[in-house]
Structure 1
Amino acid sequence: MTDTSSRKQAFRLTSRLSDPLDLYEHLPFRMAVISNLLMLDRDINIRTAADLGPRELRVLLNVGSYMPISSADIAYQTRVDSYTVSRAVSVLHKKGYLDFEASPSSRRVKMLVLTGAGKALYEQISIGIDQRSERLTEILTEQELAEMKRMLALLEDRAEAILADQAENWREKEGDIPADQKELIRWRKKSHKKIVT
């Protein structure tokens, strides 16, 4: 097991500022480090299975798990902005991994589905992800894993609330906000609606 104290000693806090932020004691930083380690294209087995970047891999996995699904719902599910999802959808479509279906509820919305090649790739990648997940979590008891999932859900909800509140406050002061900030507000309303109903 890696001892973070050895990294803390290798990277001592600066004396050039009166109160530098100790990143190793900062929860969002630590979570970002783990997230960086778990990026899909960091895993050599996943990277060699497809010529896709992390953005495309994430969208492919969401389409495979929830199809038919809209781009807007993938953005909400993954908390990635719509523009990023659209770019990934374009790449996946050009490579022949996904296709479009008409939405039963709206003629303007295209639903995303995997093609035969997309399904084969999804299955190959999901096996690798499952194996990695098992190896990652085998150090935790079932109770610890359940508690970690509970805490992650609390932190995700809180992070979403903070960002949506900031975007709303900015909109009240400045009048207009960028599209990604509007999306944060929409996501929060959608999440809150699902929680309370």
Structure 2
Amino acid sequence: MTTNKRQTSFSLSSKTNDALDLYQQVPYRIATASNLLVLDRDAYVKQITDLDTRAIRVLLNVGSYGPINAADIAYQTRLDPYSVTRAINGLLKKGLILASNDHQKSRSKLVEISDNGKPIYQKISDYMAKRCDAVLAGISETEQATLMMLLEKIELNTEKMLAGNADTVAKQGGTPTRDQSEQIRWFKRTQKQSQ
């Protein structure tokens, strides 16, 4: 298999004690796969739209789950709220999303896909389905189900770890960053939803 050859083509350094074999580190491997899957690195996505990765992820969430507010998009995507708000504002300016008529019922502005945004959303979501098929080629349905279950566990464990680290910083007198405070909120929200 190619991945095995890639692993054996790199030797662990003798310049450090107990060199970390990154190939065996699950978080590192997930990050590597994630780097390959970044939407705006995909030449075909660049033919569909000039939106950057964050704007695409926000547009997909608005099209799939809208009307939705920025906090829910941030929670769903795990993007920082500032980036989500910037992406929403950019998409509003481009006319790809619009403020929902239902926004009076919510503390924060709800957004939904606009008529102008629907064709772009459809092109991107159609391609995302093909892309998913290509990424999962040769992986059985049973393996896919196991992968989805494992990814959920990894996400929950990571959320718990990051929130715990941010909480520890706060308890030691430090000031968690906005992103770290958001991780604590996300963890609490997940805990509340699972009760």
Please confirm whether the aligned pair reaches a TM-score higher than 0.5, indicating the same fold: yes
* Residues 1:119 and 2:146 aligned together: no
Paired residues for 1:62-77 under 5 Å: 62-77=61-76
Distance in 2 between the 1:125 and 1:59 partners? 12
Instruction: Say which SS state the counterpart of residue 110 (structure 2) adopts.
Output: strand
What is the aligned partner in structure 2 of residue 88 from structure 1? 87
Residue 145 of structure 1 and its aligned partner are, at CA, apart by 0.8
What TM-score, normalized to structure 1? 0.93
1:23-62 equivalent positions in 2, closer than 5 A: 23-62=22-61
1:21 partnered with 2:4: no
Displaced runs of 4 or more, over 4 A = none
| Structure 2: segments with no counterpart, 5+ residues | none
- Following TM superposition, by how much is the alpha carbon of 1:98 offset from its aligned partner in structure 2, in angstroms? 1.2
- Work out the CA distance in 1 between the residues paired with 2:5 and 2:175: 46
Q: Deviations over 1:121-160 (max 9, x none)?
A: 0001100000111122231111111111111111110000
Shift of 1:189: 0.6
**Contact (CA 8 Å) 1:99, 1:112: kept in 2 or not?**
yes
Q: Corresponding residue for 2:103?
A: 103
47-56 or 34-43: bigger deviation = 34-43
Q: How many Å separate the matches in 2 of 1:123 and 1:178?
A: 36
Unpaired stretches in structure 1, ≥5 consecutive residues: none
TM-score (structure 2 length as normaliser) = 0.94
Contact residue 4 and residue 24 of structure 1 kept, 8 A: no
> Aligned residue for 2:150?
151
Per mean C-alpha deviation after superposition, the further-off stretch among 3-12 and 17-26 is 3-12
Contact 1:92/1:98 (8 A) holds in 2: yes
Structure 1 residue 104, shift from structure 2 partner: 4.4
CA distance in structure 2 between the partners assigned to 1:174 and 1:8 by the alignment = 42
Go from structure 1 to structure 2 and tell me whether the alpha carbon gap of 1:148 and 1:90 turns closer, same or farther (over 3 Å shift): same
**Shift in Å, 1:174:** 1.5
Give distance in 2, aligned partners of 1:195 and 1:47: 38
Equivalent-residue separation in structure 2 for 1:149 and 1:65 (angstroms): 19
Cα deviation code 1:89-111 (max 9, x no counterpart)? 122122221111252433x4110
Do 1:164 and 1:184's aligned partners in 2 also have CA atoms closer than 8 Å?
Answer: yes
Which residue is equivalent to 1:193?
192
**Distance across 2 between alignment mates of 1:66 and 1:26:** 33
- One-letter code aligned to 1:103: H
Alignment-derived partner of residue 6 in structure 1: 5
Measure the CA separation in 2 of the matches of 1:77 and 1:134: 22
Equivalent pairs counted in the alignment come to 194
Matched residues in 1 for 2:48 and 2:181: separation? 36
Cα drift, residue 175 of structure 1: 5.0
- 2-side partners of 1:165 and 1:105: how far apart? 33
What secondary structure sits across from 2:20 in the alignment? Answer: coil
RMSD of the TM alignment (CA)?
1.4
Report the secondary structure of 2:116's partner residue: helix
SS at match of 1:109: coil
Q: Aligned equivalents of 2:154 and 2:8: distance in 1? A: 28
